[in-house]
Amino acid sequence: MAGNGRYLDEKIMSKEQNKSFRTQQDETLGIEKKGSVDSYIVSRLFAYIKPFKTLVAASVAITIAGSFLGPLRPYLTKIAIDDHIARGDLRGLAFISILLAGAILLDGIKQYITTWLTQIIGQKAVFNLRMDIFTHLQKLPARFYDRNPIGRLITRTTSDVESLNEMLSSGIITILGDILQLFFIVVLMVWIDWQLTLIVLTVLPLMLYATILFKNRVRVAFQDVRTHLARLNTFFQEHITGMSIVQLFNREEREYENYAAINRDHRDANIRTVFYFSIYYPLIEVLSAAAAGLVIWYSGVRLLKADLTIGVVISFVQYIWLFFRPLQHLSDRFNVIQTAIAGSDRIFRLLDEKEGIENPAEVQPVSTFREKISFSNVWFAYDGDNWILKDISFDIRHGEKVAIVGATGSGKTSIINILSKLYPFSKGSITIDDIPIRKIEASSLRKLVGVVMQDVFLFSGTIRENLAFGNPDVSDEALREAARVVGADRFIEQLPGGYQYRVLENGTGLSSGQKQLIAFVRALLYNPEILVLDEATSSVDTETETLIDAATAKLMSERTSIIIAHRLSTVQKADRIIVLHKGMIRETGNHQELLAKRGLYYKLYLLQHPEQTTRKEV
């Protein structure tokens, strides 16, 4: 599985290595300074919000229009006390009470509408983002999946996206409302009494300093949380998939220790964020209480001098809590934003990954295969200069059945990987009907080439859905006929529900032979002009192999076929056999010709058929 074992490397990565890794990723994105990351991410997020600008405008307008309703309530309380209660004006008090109730009602309506609108915006934007991620993942090259653990990718598409959803749904516009509310609070406080306002604002510099310090620390902490969460998911996903191997090799205790180490790292990263919040929130409470105490003390002095009214004092006490509540909300939203920024950073790095083999500016359509496939001096390596294929040259003509054999690691499957454009080759040329495959669009090329792999992958769904994976519009009659030709209809019809039988994850519950038969039916329905069998019968028993042999003959009939095989019994009827050894072509010919040469193929044949040694000696 792509990325197996990477969690062990990641587990021992030091903090300095993590920092170096992030710096390298920033350079990949073209970000020269860490400070520019936020603006870069905001600009990317704006592209997902822009299609819903009408909803955004409505939400912003309602937020702006209603942001004064909260600050208006203490001011109405002051008027009620000083202008009506103190004077015994019951009629005026009733009017102010109605205004106060109306302000509360309108504020509630405003909150309902803005919450509904922001949630709609967030859900729609995140829906599009998820679709972009999935579309992009389908275009990424095989090398990307070789170096990225599945658990890490799952983290990107689930928890990272969900954190972004929370920010878009309840973060940005709420922050705008809190800022506007603070503005109106300060304006009304100054309007009522500028001296008391200055006392309240004396604690603001200390609060801003604490917030900035908190922001810098918690940003790094959330980055670490996301990193450790990805490692946790990677480890868990790999071990759930490979649990039978863990149990067979008695690795339960050792893997428990490995998981505990990764889990501790994740726990400690979360505790660091809790530590910062546990300091920040009480500090805000202390500062707000200090401001309230100063206001009450100074108000008492002025009340004794008859320089202040009771209504002003009560309204200012209310304003103090209103003033610090948006600041606390902003810190809460900052928590959401920091989590979302950390997740967005990773999401956009994923979206910035280069896609598969790039098509040239001008591509030539290829709808059919007429003449030949040509490999000319092809060199290929999965990593650096560790060459898997070395100066490979051969032709496969239309209608020809060509087998490629060799020991494990000789490069057989690599030939199919580069022919299918899963990996780019380094040197040489590959052409189909004299058209370089680099000029052929990948999807067009793959319509010509159908591959039956050794390790068959089945998706969760029905048998029918898996059979028709490459041709979803196929009729039931054609599907059943293909299953009959291959011989898969026998076991399918015995399953509960037949063709509607629900396949579990990766075909759990089906034998290797049954999954291989499904793969043959799938290839037959795909109806490719070039058929590739990559060790397609290596995992089946003798009885199933006999059943498949007849189906294979029909499947290859009037098709250009490439048979990758380790067992030589499956290639003896091929028109031509290419023998690979350490990435180079050592011999070419049909079965009898290669045996007559008594070279590498002959040695491989004797290893698999030792009974022939006696005949040779006789």
Which one-letter amino acid corresponds to residue 62?
I
- Distance in angstroms (rounded) separating the CA atoms of residues 329 and 175: 8
What's the whole-number mean pLDDT along residues 486-490?
84
pLDDT band at 19 (very low <50, low <70, confident <90, very high): very low
pLDDT of residue 118: 85
For the chain, state the CA radius of gyration.
35
Residue among 76, 93, 100, 81 at smallest CA distance from 310:
81
Q: Is the pLDDT higher at 356 or at 580?
A: 580
pLDDT of 45 over the 60 cut: yes
Q: Six-digit token pair at 481?
A: 């006929």
pLDDT of residue 325: 75
pLDDT of residue 540: 58
Give rounded-to-5 percent helix, strand, coil for the chain. Answer: 65, 10, 20
Place of tokens 């609060």: 207
Pairing of strands 461-462, 449-452: unpaired
Q: At what angle do helices 194-201 and 252-304 cross, to 10 degrees?
A: 150
Backbone torsions φ then ψ of 243, nearest 5 degrees = -60, -35
pLDDT digits (tens, 9 = 90+) for 49-74: 888 888 888 888 888 888 888 888 88
pLDDT of residue 394: 92
Q: Give the other-Cβ count within 10 Å of 457's Cβ.
A: 11
Residue among 344, 441, 401, 434 at smallest CA distance from 126:
344
Q: Six-digit token pair at 192?
A: 């009522």
Residue among 262, 280, 259, 260 at smallest CA distance from 225:
262
Question: Residue 561 forms beta bridges with which residues?
Answer: 401, 531
Q: Six-digit token pair at 492?
A: 């399918």
pLDDT digits (tens, 9 = 90+) for 220-237: 787 788 788 878 888 887
pLDDT of 533 over the 70 cut: yes
Q: Please determine, looking at this structure, whether the domain spanning 32-351 carries the CATH number 1.20.1560.10.
A: yes
What Cα–Cα distance (Å) separates residue 433 from each residue in 360, 377, 397, 436? 18, 17, 9, 8
Q: Is the pLDDT higher at 288 or at 548?
A: 288
End-to-end CA distance of the chain: 48
What's the whole-number mean pLDDT along residues 455-459?
82
pLDDT band at 391 (very low <50, low <70, confident <90, very high): very high
Q: pTM of the full predicted structure?
A: 0.73
Domain residue ranges of the chain, discontinuous segments joined by +: 32-351, 372-617
Vertex 532 angle, CA 143 and 487, to 5°: 125
Question: How many helices, marked H, and strands, marked E, lie in the chain?
Answer: 25, 12
Q: Give the other-Cβ count within 10 Å of 22's Cβ.
A: 17
Q: At what angle do helices 161-170 and 37-49 cross, to 10 degrees?
A: 70
Tell me what the pLDDT averaged over the chain comes to. Answer: 80
Looking at domain 372-617, which CATH architecture does it have? 3-Layer(aba) Sandwich (3.40)
- Distance in angstroms (rounded) separating the CA atoms of residues 531 and 369: 12
- Distance in angstroms (rounded) separating the CA atoms of residues 101 and 122: 32
Residue among 338, 333, 328, 335 at smallest CA distance from 219:
338
Mention every residue, 6+ apart, whose C-beta is less than 8 A from residue 289.
none
pLDDT digits (tens, 9 = 90+) for 290-311: 888 888 888 888 887 777 788 8
pLDDT digits (tens, 9 = 90+) for 244-291: 778 877 888 888 888 898 899 889 888 888 888 888 778 877 887 888
Residue among 562, 498, 551 at smallest CA distance from 525:
551
pLDDT of residue 373: 92
